[in-house]
Structure 1
Amino acid sequence: MVVTPYLDTLLLLMVAAAAINDLASRRIPNLLLLSGLVAALVLHSISPDPGAALLSSAGGLLTGFVMFIPFYLVRGMAAGDVKMMATIGAFTGPDLALHIAILAWCAGGVMALGIVICRGRLRLAFSNLWSILRPAVLRLPAVPGAVKESAGSMPYGVAIAAGTIYLLLGRYA
């Protein structure tokens, strides 16, 4: 049984629901992500080569997690975004998870720039960026708490969903 269309359909539904939730409440429900992960594992287990499919799913989960966890650790992203990307990786495997992560970063960058410009906080955003980069550029010791005020937050699940939808719909165009 070919499971790819089912995986893609469920993934599109999951990322759409996650993006809508993130926009509405700034949260991505754990139950949604856990349900998606279980669905991905079940579908991979009934594929023609379940061993390879499950191994690819595990590799995708790990890839999605590893690509986004550094941003969580520096408080640049919420845990739900990391879990969402890991779940997407379980659906897609490592190669597509990497591509989706890159597309999500691009979409997120455009969204972030738009948000700080619309909120009139571009100067603060550049000041914060310089506070973060200055120790590395000037080879100085890092200063804890150098960034005093956030330039704003954004629903990053929307950027992740945009990258996912773009890549998946491109497969069928």
Structure 2
Amino acid sequence: MTIAILFIILAISFFTDLKNRKIFNVVTFPAILLGFIINTATLGWEGFLFSLFGFLMGFGLLVIPYVLGGMAAGDVKLLMAIGALQGTGFVFGSFIYITIIGGMIAFVILLKQKELINTLKRIFFSAQLRSLDSLNKNEYHHAFPYGVAIVLGTVCYTGVNVF
């Protein structure tokens, strides 16, 4: 049952993040709550802890990029919902796929916009850590709706676990 809920929130989040660049609380909060309720109802105290630790793992994996301004709160809440529904192992496994897919998307965007070399120079030769808020508008155009990477990475991880 939690896998069905997971795919519903992933589908909704994919389209809203592409269209509006937002992942809505009306999607993530009920998913988090349902994860706790379903896992607690089926597994008791162990189910509650399963959801709690998955929820916290989802938060922990994206809180630093969020604080640095590299991603929006909706992205963090989506990963927290994934964790509450599917637990720590699933959210961590998904995260590996998410980072790979996110990197590939960023690489393609930079390549397409002919900014790959400039970006690599900035990364390797910059001595200061900057958030996206400190970038000028010409640099900011590289950002993309990271919820897309979260959805695709989670779906890929789910497929790997099924087969």
Q: Give the TM-score normalised by the residue count of structure 2.
A: 0.88
- 2:121 equivalent to 1:123: no
Q: Report Cα offsets for 1:123-172 as digits up to 9, x if no partner.
A: 332233235xx43xxxxxx4768855335111110111111111223333
Q: Report Cα offsets for 1:62-119 as digits up to 9, x if no partner.
A: 0011011111111111111111111111111111111111110011000111111122
- 2:9 equivalent to 1:8: no
Partner of 1:3 in structure 2? none
- 2:94 equivalent to 1:94: no
122-131 or 153-162, which deviates more:
122-131
Matches within 5 A, 1:123-162: 123-131=117-125, 134-135=126-127, 142=128, 148=136, 149-150=139-140, 152-162=142-152
Distance in 2 between residues matched to 1:170 and 1:104, nearest whole Å? 13
Aligned with 1:34 (options 29, 36, 45) = 29
Counterpart amino acid of 2:150?
A: I
Q: Report Cα offsets for 1:37-82 as digits up to 9, x if no partner.
A: 12212211221x2210110110001001101111111111111111
Distance in 2 between residues matched to 1:118 and 1:45, nearest whole Å? 47
Share of identical aligned residues, percent? 26
Residue pair 1:64, 1:97 contacting (<8 A) in 2 also? yes
- 2:53 equivalent to 1:59: yes
Distance in 1 between residues matched to 2:153 and 2:33, nearest whole Å? 22
147-156 or 29-38, which deviates more:
147-156
Distance in 2 between residues matched to 1:17 and 1:143, nearest whole Å? 34
Partner of 2:108 in structure 1? 114
| Root mean square deviation of aligned Cα | 1.9
Partner of 2:13 in structure 1? 18
- Aligned-partner SS, 1:46: helix
Gap runs ≥5 in structure 2:
none
- 2:156 equivalent to 1:166: yes
Residue pair 1:45, 1:54 contacting (<8 A) in 2 also? yes
- Aligned-partner SS, 1:71: helix
Residue pair 1:44, 1:54 contacting (<8 A) in 2 also? yes
Distance in 2 between residues matched to 1:79 and 1:36, nearest whole Å? 15
